[in-house]
C-alpha cells in the first residue's frame, strides 16, 4: 500500500498553491462551463479587467467578451467540457471602464464529469502586440527603403548546423563550401530586376554561381573564409563590413561590374547566422574610368602645351582631367576634386546653373569668373556628345585678368568723364538758380522801385526819391552780383564773415522796408562751413526770404538756423496768404532751386503751405566744416557762379 500524505503535507501543498494563485502575474479564472458563471478569480485578473475581486465573481463569461467573440468562447467551453484543452491569442476582453484589451488565453478542464470546471490563464497581450506592430512597421519601412534605392539589398541565411558551428573555426573552408552549395537568397530588393534583369519570382531559385563569373565567385569565397576566421568578433561588437568589386552576370548573360558591401549577422556565441549585403552596379563608372584613361593618354600631349586651362568635369562639377594647375594648386591636386573650390563663393551659384544647362540641353555656354587667387577667367563650356560613353563637359578657360584690368581702367576713366560732365551740367543749373535768386531778383526790385518813383514823383517827391535811391542800390547790387557770377566769385559777405553774418546782412537790407518784419534766430557751434555748403545755405535763405517778402503779405518772417550734431536745420516761416504747392507754375524756379540745392547736398526739404495758412520751409543739411578737398561726389564740388 502506498503511503498517503499527512495532513500537514496537505496543508503545506494548499498554502503553496494558494500563494501561486494569489501572486501569479497571469490572470486566473475558474468558470462553470454549464452556467458560464465565474467561480474564482485571482488578483491579477481583477487588475487586468479593472474590477474588484467581488465584482469579477458576480460576472458571467458573456460579460467579459464582446458579442463577436462569444461564438468562439462558447465553442471553447464545449470543447473544454469534453476534456480537450484550448488556447488562443489576442482574445478580446472587455474592461469595467468599457475599454477593450487583448489577452492570450490557455484553458483546461478541472474536476470530474459530474461537475466539470474550466481553468483559464489570461496574459495581457498589449505589450506584445505593440512590439509586434513596431516590428511589422520597422520591417515595412526597411523593405520600402530597400525597394526604392538603386542598390540591390539582399540577405542569405547560412543555416549552419550544430556540427558546422562546432567545426567552423577548425575546418572553415569545408563549412564555407557547404554554405555556398546551398546558397539561396532569403530576401532581395526590387533593384535586382533593374541591375540583373531577374524578376522577383526568379530570385529565390538563384545560386551564387548563377550570377557571378568564376573569378568573382572565388573572390567572394575567400572573403567569406576570412570573415569567419579573422574577424570572429566578441558578442558585443558589430561584425565588420567587407567590400569587394567583381563581375556579375545579368539574366541575358551580359557582365555587370558591381561593388558589394557585406557583413555577418551573428548569434549570441558570435557565430554567423546570416549574410547581408548591398550590391551596387558600377558598370558605368568602370566604363567611364576606362574611357577616361584612354582619352587622357591621347590628349595629354596636346593639352599640356596649351596656354589655356582645359578641364573636363562631370555633371556635379568634379574635375576628371586638367591639363595644368591653377595658381598654387598643381595639376595632381585638381583631379577628382570639385571645380567649385577654385572659384570665389559669389560665382558658385552662376557656375552651377551654367553647368546644369550645358548638361541639360547641350548648348555651349560662356561664363566669366574669378578664382581664389584673384585671377579672372573667360570660360567656354562645351557639353559632351550625346553618344559619348563618358558624359564629361569640357571647360576651356582663358586668363583675362590683364584684359579686365585694362577694361576697368577705361571704364573708370569714362565714369570720371561722365561725372565731370554731370558736374558741369549741374553747375550750369545752379548758375541759372543763382541768376534767378540774386541778379534777377535785384533787377526786379530795382524795376519795381523805379516804377514806384515814376508814379509817386509828382505827388510825393521825397518818398519817390527814396524809391529812386533804393533802385540805384539794387542796381548796384545787381552789378556786383553780375560781376561775381562772371568772375565765379561767391557773395563777398560770405568770404569775409561767414554764413551767419551773411544772413544777418540779408535781414539788415530789409530793415528799411516797411514790411514785413524779419527776425533771425540762430544757435550753431561752427565758425565756418565748407564754401559750397555756405553758398548753398545762403542761396536757400535768400530765395526763401525773397519769396516771403514779395508774395506772402505777412507782417513777420522768421528765419531760424540750428545745429543738431552734424546736421544743420534751417526754417523760414511766414504767416501770410500762403498758396497751393501743386499749383505753383513750373516756370517759377525759386522753390525748384531750393529743392535742387538740397538734393545735391544730400539733404532733405519740406515745403508746407495752404491758402490763408502761411508758408513754412524746413531744410536739413549734412554739415561739412571749413575747406574741403575735391570729392568725386558732385554735391561736394559745386560752386556758386
CATH number, domain with residue 580: 3.30.565.10
426 and 349 within one domain: no
Query: How many domains are contained in the chain?
Result: 4
- Of the residues 368, 398, 428, the one at which a domain ends: 398
296 and 271 within one domain: no
302 and 274 within one domain: no
The whole domain housing 40 covers: 11-130
Instruction: Give the model's pLDDT for residue 192.
Output: 81
Of 627, 628, 610, 608, which Cα lies nearest the Cα of 618?
608
569-594: average pLDDT? 79
What's the pLDDT band for 513 if we cut at 50, 70, 90?
low
The reply to whether 48 falls in a domain is: yes
266 and 177 within one domain: yes
183-193: average pLDDT? 83
The reply to whether 547 falls in a domain is: yes
197 and 54 within one domain: no
583-588: average pLDDT? 58
Q: Which of 77-81, 259-263, 422-426, 498-502 has the lowest mean pLDDT?
A: 422-426
What are the pLDDT digits (tens) for 416-428?
556 545 645 666 6
**Which residue has better confidence, 555 or 466?**
555
297 and 201 within one domain: no
Which residues, including other chains, have CB under 8 Å from residue 519's CB and lie 6 or more apart?
A: 507, 556, 557, 558, 559
Judge whether residue 231 has pLDDT over 80. no
Judge whether residue 564 has pLDDT over 60. yes
- Of the residues 101, 130, 159, the one at which a domain ends: 130
Judge whether residue 412 has pLDDT over 90. no
The reply to whether 373 falls in a domain is: yes
597 and 485 within one domain: yes
229 and 350 within one domain: no
296 and 272 within one domain: no
557 and 593 within one domain: yes
Residues 356, 378 contacting (CB under 8 angstroms)? no
The reply to whether 138 falls in a domain is: no
611-637: average pLDDT? 67
CATH code at position 340: 3.30.450.20
The reply to whether 196 falls in a domain is: yes
- Of the residues 351, 374, 398, the one at which a domain ends: 398
Judge whether residue 10 has pLDDT over 70. no
Instruction: Give the model's pLDDT for residue 415.
Output: 64
The reply to whether 3 falls in a domain is: no
In a 3-state reduction of DSSP, which class is residue 441?
helix
Residues 355, 340 contacting (CB under 8 angstroms)? no
Judge whether residue 154 has pLDDT over 80. yes
Judge whether residue 629 has pLDDT over 50. no
508 and 629 within one domain: yes
Instruction: Give the model's pLDDT for residue 605.
Output: 93
Q: Please, how many CA atoms are within 13 Å of residue 315, restricted to the half-sphere of its CB?
A: 8
Judge whether residue 145 has pLDDT over 90. no
**Which residue has better confidence, 448 or 604?**
604
59-66: average pLDDT? 92
Judge whether residue 637 has pLDDT over 50. no
Residues 53, 43 contacting (CB under 8 angstroms)? yes
Judge whether residue 52 has pLDDT over 70. yes
Percent of the chain with pLDDT over 90: 22
98-120: average pLDDT? 87
Which residues, including other chains, have CB under 8 Å from residue 442's CB and lie 6 or more apart?
A: 474, 475, 477, 478, 481
User: Which pTM does this prediction carry?
Assistant: 0.35
508 and 363 within one domain: no
Q: Please, how many CA atoms are within 13 Å of residue 625, restricted to the half-sphere of its CB?
A: 7
559-587: average pLDDT? 86
The reply to whether 445 falls in a domain is: yes
492-503: average pLDDT? 83
The reply to whether 6 falls in a domain is: no
Of 263, 257, 313, which Cα lies nearest the Cα of 285?
257
What's the pLDDT band for 463 if we cut at 50, 70, 90?
confident
Amino acid at each position: 500500500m502506498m503511503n498517503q500524505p499527512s495532513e500537514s503535507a496537505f496543508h503545506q501543498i494548499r498554502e503553496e498553491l494558494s500563494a501561486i494563485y494569489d501572486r501569479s502575474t497571469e490572470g486566473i479564472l475558474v468558470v462553470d462551463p454549464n452556467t458560464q458563471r465565474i467561480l474564482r478569480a485571482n488578483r491579477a485578473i481583477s487588475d487586468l479587467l479593472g474590477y474588484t475581486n467581488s465584482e469579477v465573481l458576480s460576472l458571467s463569461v458573456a460579460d467579459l467578451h464582446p458579442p463577436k467573440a462569444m461564438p468562439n468562447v462558447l465553442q471553447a467551453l464545449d470543447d473544454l467540457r469534453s476534456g480537450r484543452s484550448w488556447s488562443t491569442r489576442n482574445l478580446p476582453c472587455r474592461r469595467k471602464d468599457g475599454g477593450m484589451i487583448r489577452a492570450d488565453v490557455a484553458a483546461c478542464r478541472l474536476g470530474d464529469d459530474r461537475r466539470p470546471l474550466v481553468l483559464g490563464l489570461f496574459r495581457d497581450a498589449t505589450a506584445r502586440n505593440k512590439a509586434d506592430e513596431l516590428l511589422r512597421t520597422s520591417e515595412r519601412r526597411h523593405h520600402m527603403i530597400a525597394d526604392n534605392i538603386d542598390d540591390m539589398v539582399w540577405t542569405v541565411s547560412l543555416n549552419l548546423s550544430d556540427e558546422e558551428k562546432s567545426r567552423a573555426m577548425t575546418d572553415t573552408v569545408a563549412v564555407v563550401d557547404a554554405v555556398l552549395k546551398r546558397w539561396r537568397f532569403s530576401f532581395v530588393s526590387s533593384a535586382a530586376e533593374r541591375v540583373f534583369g531577374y524578376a522577383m519570382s526568379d530570385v529565390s531559385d538563384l545560386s551564387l554561381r548563377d550570377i557571378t563569373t568564376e573569378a568573382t565567385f572565388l573572390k567572394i569565397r575567400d572573403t567569406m573564409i576570412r570573415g569567419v576566421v579573422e574577424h570572429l568578433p566578441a558578442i558585443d561588437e558589430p561584425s565588420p563590413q567587407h567590400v569587394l568589386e567583381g563581375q556579375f552576370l545579368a539574366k541575358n548573360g551580359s557582365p555587370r561590374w558591381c561593388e558589394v558591401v557585406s557583413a555577418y549577422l551573428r548569434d549570441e556565441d558570435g557565430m554567423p547566422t546570416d549574410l547581408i549585403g548591398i550590391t551596387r552596379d558600377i558598370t558605368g563608372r568602370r566604363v567611364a574610368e576606362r574611357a577616361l584613361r584612354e582619352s587622357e593618354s591621347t590628349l595629354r600631349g596636346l593639352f599640356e602645351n596649351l596656354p589655356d586651362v582645359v578641364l573636363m568635369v562631370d555633371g556635379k562639377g568634379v574635375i576628371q582631367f586638367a591639363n595644368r594647375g591653377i595658381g598654387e594648386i598643381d595639376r595632381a591636386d585638381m583631379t577628382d576634386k570639385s571645380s567649385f573650390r577654385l572659384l570665389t563663393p559669389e560665382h558658385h551659384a552662376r557656375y552651377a546653373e551654367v553647368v546644369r544647362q550645358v548638361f541639360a540641353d547641350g548648348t555651349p555656354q560662356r561664363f566669366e569668373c574669378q578664382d581664389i587667387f584673384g585671377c579672372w577667367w573667360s570660360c567656354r563650356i562645351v557639353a559632351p556628345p550625346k553618344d559619348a560613353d563618358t558624359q564629361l563637359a569640357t571647360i576651356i578657360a582663358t586668363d583675362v585678368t590683364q584684359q579686365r584690368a585694362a577694361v576697368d581702367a577705361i571704364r573708370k576713366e569714362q565714369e570720371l568723364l561722365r561725372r565731370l560732365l554731370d558736374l558741369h551740367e549741374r553747375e550750369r543749373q545752379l548758375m541759372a538758380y543763382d541768376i534767378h535768386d540774386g541778379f534777377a531778383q535785384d533787377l526786379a526790385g530795382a524795376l519795381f522801385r523805379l516804377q514806384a518813383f515814376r508814379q509817386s514823383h509828382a505827388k510825393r517827391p521825397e518818398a519817390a526819391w527814396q524809391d529812386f535811391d533804393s533802385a540805384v542800390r539794387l542796381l548796384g547790387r545787381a552789378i556786383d552780383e553780375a560781376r561775381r557770377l562772371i568772375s565765379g566769385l561767391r557773395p563777398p559777405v560770405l568770404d569775409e564773415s561767414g554764413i551767419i553774418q551773411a544772413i544777418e546782412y540779408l535781414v539788415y537790407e530789409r530793415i528799411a522796408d516797411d514790411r514785413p518784419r524779419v527776425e533771425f534766430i540762430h544757435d550753431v557751434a561752427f565758425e565756418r562751413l565748407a564754401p559750397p555748403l555756405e553758398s548753398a545755405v545762403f542761396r536757400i535763405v535768400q530765395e526763401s526770404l525773397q519769396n516771403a517778402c514779395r508774395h506772402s503779405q505777412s507782417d513777420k518772417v522768421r528765419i531760424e538756423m540750428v545745429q543738431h550734431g552734424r546736421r544743420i536745420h534751417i526754417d523760414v516761416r511766414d504767416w501770410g496768404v500762403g498758396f497751393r504747392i501743386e499749383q505753383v507754375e513750373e516756370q517759377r524756379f525759386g522753390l525748384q532751386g531750393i529743392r535742387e540745392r538740397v538734393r545735391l547736398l544730400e539733404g532733405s526739404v519740406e515745403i508746407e503751405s495752404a491758402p490763408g495758412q502761411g508758408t513754412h520751409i524746413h531744410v536739413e543739411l549734412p554739415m561739412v566744416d571749413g575747406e574741403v578737398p575735391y570729392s568725386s561726389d558732385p554735391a561736394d564740388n559745386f560752386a556758386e557762379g
